[in-house]
């Protein structure tokens, strides 16, 4: 007897004759919008598309076969998304939060959005539109809320939000699995005398990462603070080494196809802080940018210089294309367009990949712009 499908439909030829593994392999390559429609085909497809194993399979397939989108929010609570394959821009309003929100993180298709005072935080799946406002967190008035980070704990199959709530960087963690906050009664020694994190959190390989000044070091070089979301312990990682007085400073800190990526800039046209609290200007040398990737996460010795170039620098590496080319975002303050630049690693040449008018893509901060791939990951999981 043939299986009965939802809504009285007869099973399709695909369901009857195509092996399950093959059907699963076909479906996992489809966009989320199609899969949401296909939930209504029959019960078998509904259960498959909701299955956590299929969701992870689809997630890996999407991250492997698509370039994703560059996502940011503006001060009017509009979410802007630039598809890196088509350069098509879309925007939508985020009405669940008060005005003036920030994009605090992105991981596996989920966005972490927060008000600027960090008192209200929301998780949002930009593909399914499912969302959750996190439970409120009461902190004593004397505490100062410093930073928010968001990422995935693969050991516990859980998504976590972390907040630091005073100058000693005491952490408090939110677990999506438990839908609750839990504080830790310790501070992170690796922060030393650091009273600021220089970049928003970047998620890589089960850990959140920030750049920060290392005041325990006489040269005051920047370091990376790495926070493991499983153990909830922090450690310091080294950045690529430059001599303290050579004029290079961290210009970008991101993830490039699963690897930490940092850009160092030497731009003599600008003033920059110098030791002792003074300001020092540099001579009329060329503008130089070095792009580095950490090939093995957590291994300080695995930093590899991807490329170096002179002239006005693109501000943000985005993704690889064709295996040997890197897309970069260029946001010249004097221009009314955002340029997508392609750098060929073999030929060591730049080319213009596309231009997006300023009115079509609002970027309040390059640091807050994130790469996001669509996914079926649920915000309200049933464990």
For the chain, 383 residues long, give each residue's pLDDT as a single digit of tens.
Answer: 444 444 445 455 555 567 878 888 889 999 999 999 998 888 888 999 999 999 999 999 999 888 899 898 887 888 889 898 888 888 898 888 877 788 999 999 999 999 888 888 999 999 999 999 999 887 766 666 667 899 999 999 999 999 887 655 678 899 999 999 987 666 665 555 455 677 889 999 999 999 887 766 666 678 898 999 999 888 889 999 887 777 788 888 999 989 999 988 886 655 444 444 433 433 335 678 889 999 999 999 999 999 888 776 666 788 888 778 888 887 654 556 677 888 888 888 888 888 777 666 666 556 678 899 999 999 986 54
What backbone torsions phi and psi does residue 188 show, to the nearest 5 degrees? Answer: -100, 110
Query: pTM to 2 decimals?
Result: 0.84
Q: Is 208:201 a contact under the CB 8 Å cutoff? A: yes
Kindly report the CA angle at 215 between 259 and 233, in degrees rounded to 5? Answer: 50
**Segments in the chain forming alpha helices (H):** 13-17, 20-27, 32-38, 43-50, 52-65
- Determine how many CB atoms are found less than 10 A away from the CB of residue 130: 15
In sequence order, the β-bridge partners of residue 207 are: 204, 228
Q: Are strands 121-125 and 279-280 parallel, antiparallel or unpaired?
A: unpaired
Given the candidates 3.30.360.10, 2.130.10.30, 3.40.50.1220, 2.120.10.80, the CATH classification of the domain at 66-372 is 2.120.10.80
Q: Which of 253, 252, 264 is nearest to 208 (CA)?
A: 253
Distance (Å, whole) CA 42 – CA 302 = 49
Give the C-alpha separation, 353 to 340, whole Å.
5
Token pair 């008018």 is found at 357
Between CA 144 and CA 288 the distance in angstroms is: 38
Among 359, 259, 372, 247, CA closest to 305: 259
Q: At what angle do helices 20-27 and 52-65 cross, to 10 degrees?
A: 50
| Residue 278 tokens, joined | 């003074």
H/E element, 114: strand 110-115
What own/partner pairs with CB < 8 Å and gap ≥ 24 does 7-15 have? 7/40, 9/41, 9/42, 11/42, 12/41, 12/42, 15/42, 15/44, 15/45
For the chain, give every residue range classified as CATH 2.120.10.80. Answer: 66-372
């Amino acid at each position: 007897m043939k299986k009965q499908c939802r809504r009285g439909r007869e099973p399709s030829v695909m369901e009857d004759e195509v092996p399950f593994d093959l059907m699963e392999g076909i479906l996992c390559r489809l966009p989320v919008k199609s899969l949401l429609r296909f939930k209504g085909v029959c019960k078998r497809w509904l259960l498959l598309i909701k299955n956590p194993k299929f969701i992870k399979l689809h997630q890996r397939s999407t991250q492997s076969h698509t370039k994703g989108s560059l996502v940011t929010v503006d001060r009017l609570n509009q979410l802007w998304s630039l598809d890196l394959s088509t350069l098509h821009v879309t925007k939508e309003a985020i009405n669940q939060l008060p005005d003036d929100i920030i994009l605090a993180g992105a991981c596996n298709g989920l966005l972490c959005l927060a008000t600027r005072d960090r008192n209200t935080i929301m998780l949002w799946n930009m593909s399914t539109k499912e969302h959750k406002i996190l439970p409120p967190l009461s902190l004593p008035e004397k505490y100062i809320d410093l930073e928010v980070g968001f990422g995935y704990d693969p050991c516990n199959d859980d998504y976590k939000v972390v907040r630091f709530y005073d100058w000693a960087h005491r952490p408090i963690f939110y677990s999506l699995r438990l839908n609750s906050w839990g504080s830790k009664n310790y501070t992170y020694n690796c922060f030393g005398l650091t009273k600021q994190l220089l970049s928003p959190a970047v998620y890589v390989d089960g850990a959140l990462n920030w750049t920060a000044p290392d005041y325990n070091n006489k040269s005051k070089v920047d370091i990376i603070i790495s926070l493991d979301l499983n153990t909830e312990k922090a450690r310091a990682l080294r950045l690529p080494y430059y001599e303290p007085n050579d004029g290079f400073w961290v210009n970008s800190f991101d993830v490039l196809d699963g690897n930490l990526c940092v850009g160092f800039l030497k731009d003599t046209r600008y003033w920059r802080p110098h030791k002792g609290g003074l300001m020092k200007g540099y001579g009329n040398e060329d503008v130089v940018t070095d792009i580095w990737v950490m090939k093995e996460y957590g291994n300080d010795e695995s930093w590899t210089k991807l490329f170096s170039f002179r002239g006005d620098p693109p501000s943000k590496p985005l993704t690889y294309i064709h295996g040997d080319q890197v897309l970069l975002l260029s946001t010249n303050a004097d221009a009314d367009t955002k340029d997508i630049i392609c750098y060929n690693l073999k030929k060591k040449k730049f080319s213009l990949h596309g231009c997006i008018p300023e009115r079509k893509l609002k970027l309040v901060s390059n640091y807050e712009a994130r790469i996001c791939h669509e996914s079926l990951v649920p915000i309200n999981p049933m464990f």
